[in-house]
Amino acid sequence: MYWEAEIEQLPVGKLDKLQLDRLRQTLGRAVRSPFYRRQFAAAGVVAERLTHIEQIRSLPFTTKEDLRNHFPYGFLTVPKDGPVRLHCSSGTTGNPTVVFHDRHDLDSWANLVARSLFCAGIRPTDVFQNICGYGLFTGGLGFQYGAERLGALVIPAAAGNSRRQIKLMQDFGTTAVHAIPSYLFRLHGAFVELGLDPRRDTLLRHFVIGAEPHTEGQRRRIEELFGVRAFNSYGLSEMNGPGVAFECIEQRGLHIWEDCFVAEVIDPVTLDPLPEGEVGELVLTTLDRRAMPLLRYRTRDLTRILPGPCACGRSHRRIDRISGRSDDMLILKGCNIFPLQIEKVLMRFPEVGSNYLIVLQTRKDGDQMEIRVEVQKEWFTGNMEELEVLSRRIGHEVRDEILITPVIRLVEPGSLPQSEGKAVRVQDLRTFQEDL
């Protein structure tokens, strides 16, 4: 029941050995890039001195800032005519970063995505509709080639146009879908508008969801709305894109493909390694990338390594779902808050819809958090008293979680702005007064 039985079940000792071999090869390649040549010289990095994979900790980190500062060719290990494709991250938080791939890299990536899909129960007999942006975004071509490699029939549906998505699903009997979680709620709305129920009127059975933070509660909602099982897919463009870590059918954490990546979890402040089970920032090293290897890349994503083996038999360790980013942390009145903490509370209320927006504002009496929450249609009865009670209950539970009392504003379904791509959950409108 594996895509690559031997590699996926490789005993931990052998996996360590494979990682060490590949790390040393990777260092040998990386030193050909202008960035790592300089960095290795400054830090005295010598590949031959590494005799155990744990010594990866002696290497310097690579950051998004490094990628930006050496844009576009500073990390390339081959002549400029060597790579065959590039992808850029969406650059939601600044200048874009670019990653180049040669043929080997693309081949390895497609295989990892095929392995991931197989691990989540998708098979060559599936009809796989890829509902996400193509182009520079890695989810489009990444899943396209991966699902083709698996042998599924792939519909390159791209993002948006929900009615057309539904028509494609019905025309071609789509059984598996990849999409970002926030879009799926909109898609469900389109089914309802057409008087259709995806559980009855489609053959959908498997979803792959990822690319943006979401909670277990959102996953369960998606599964119920569509009558499917939804599997968490984690990746980032710096590490190819999708196919870095993926849930297996156990749905208990995401296997990180350790033959192709070294995963470490560090304290984002002290940068010290953290033991298994503790939440910190995920740091990743590529082991099978040639045109542009990256060493100890700081993802800024917060997670932990789950202890113990997985019932599926794969030996590759699992990470927990991403619980936030070390850089999307909000600091309000001295409290550190992650938007996902708030989402987790909201999802406990069946009355709450799928969209919400956290707005931070400066008021006369200090900074304030307002949470605008869409309420399910059937609950938005206009009965002010009931809504009052509900918003008070939500306010209490959020305060228990984040230690700050928010203002809760319940709004009608569909009234909050929806982004085309990844959901925007926070608007920081605070005016910062400079210290005198």
Query: What does the per-residue mask of binding to Zn ion show for 319-358, with x meaning CB under 5 A?
Result: ----------------------------------------
Query: Considering the complex, what minimum distance in angstroms separates the CB of residue 99 from ligand ADP?
Result: 9
Using the CB atoms, write b or e for 397-420: b if 16+ within 10 Å: bbeeebebebebebbebeebeeee
Q: Which stretch binds ligand ADP (CB under 6 A): 89-97, 156-164, 365-373, 388-396?
A: 89-97
Pick the binder of Zn ion from 47, 136, 274, 312 (CB under 5 A).
312
SS3 content of the chain, % helix, strand, coil (to 5): 35, 25, 40
Task: Name which position in 19, 108, 299, 391 contacts ligand ADP (CB under 6 A).
Answer: 299
**Smallest separation (angstroms) from ligand ADP to the CB of 269:** 19
Residues between 375 and 404 with contacts to ligand ADP, criterion CB under 6 A: none
Q: Pick what 90 binds: Zn ion, ligand ADP, none; C-beta below 5 to 8 Å, kind-dependent.
A: ligand ADP
> Which partner from the list ligand ADP, Zn ion, none does 310 bind, CB cut-off 5 to 8 Å by kind?
Zn ion
Complex with Zn ion: residue 94 or 277, whichever CB lies closer? 277
From Zn ion, ligand ADP, none, which one binds at residue 368 (CB under 5 to 8 Å depending on kind)?
none
**From ligand ADP, Zn ion, none, which one binds at residue 404 (CB under 5 to 8 Å depending on kind)?**
none
Which of 83, 146, 198, 210 is close enough to bind ligand ADP by CB under 6 A?
210
Binding residues with Zn ion: total (CB under 5 A): 5
**Phi-psi group of 334: left, alpha or beta (phi > 0 → left; psi -120 to 50 → alpha; rest → beta):** left
Sign of the four-CA dihedral 22, 281, 425, 222: positive
What's 34's DSSP letter? H
126-142 in b/e form (b: 16+ CB < 10 A) is bbbbbbbbbebbbbbbb
Q: How far is CA 170 from the centre of its chain?
A: 28
Q: Is 241 helix (H, G, I), strand (E, B) or coil?
A: strand
Question: Whole-number minimum distance, CB 153 to ligand ADP, in Å?
Answer: 25
DSSP secondary structure, 81-142, as one string: TS-SEEEE---TTSS--EEEE-HHHHHHHHHHHHHHHHHTT--TT-EEEE-S--TTSHHHHH
What is the token pair recorded at 226?
């569509």
- Count other C-beta atoms under 10 Å from residue 342's C-beta: 25
Q: Which stretch binds ligand ADP (CB under 6 A): 113-121, 127-135, 229-237, 267-275?
A: 229-237
User: If binding is defined by CB under 6 A, does position 91 make contact with ligand ADP?
Assistant: yes
Among 99, 114, 166, 248, binds Zn ion (CB under 5 A): 248
Tell me the pairing of strands 176-179 and 206-210.
Answer: parallel
Please state the closest distance from residue 238 (CB atom) to ligand ADP, in A. 7
**Sign of the C-alpha dihedral computed for residues 331, 337, 338 and 340 taken in this order:** negative
Determine if 232 is a binding residue for ligand ADP (CB under 6 A): yes
Q: Count Cβ neighbours within 10 Å for each residue of 15-41 and write b for 16 or more, e otherwise.
A: bbebbbebbeebbebbbebebbeebbe
As to burial, measured by CB atoms within 10 angstroms (0-12 exposed, 13-18 middle, 19+ buried), residue 384 is: exposed
The item of ligand ADP, Zn ion, none sharing an interface with residue 212, based on CB under 5 to 8 Å by kind, is ligand ADP
Residue whose token pair is 């942006």: 133
Residue 148 interacts with ligand ADP (CB under 6 A): yes or no: no
Chosen from ligand ADP, Zn ion, none, partner binding at 383 (C-beta under 5 to 8 Å by type): none
29 touches, from Zn ion, ligand ADP, none (C-beta below 5 to 8 Å by class)? none
Task: Look at residue 248 and give the partner it binds from ligand ADP, Zn ion, none, a contact being a CB closer than 5 to 8 Å depending on partner kind.
Answer: Zn ion
Binding positions for ligand ADP, rule: CB under 6 A: 89-92, 210-213, 232-237, 299, 301, 322, 325
Binding positions for Zn ion, rule: CB under 5 A: 248, 250, 310, 312, 314
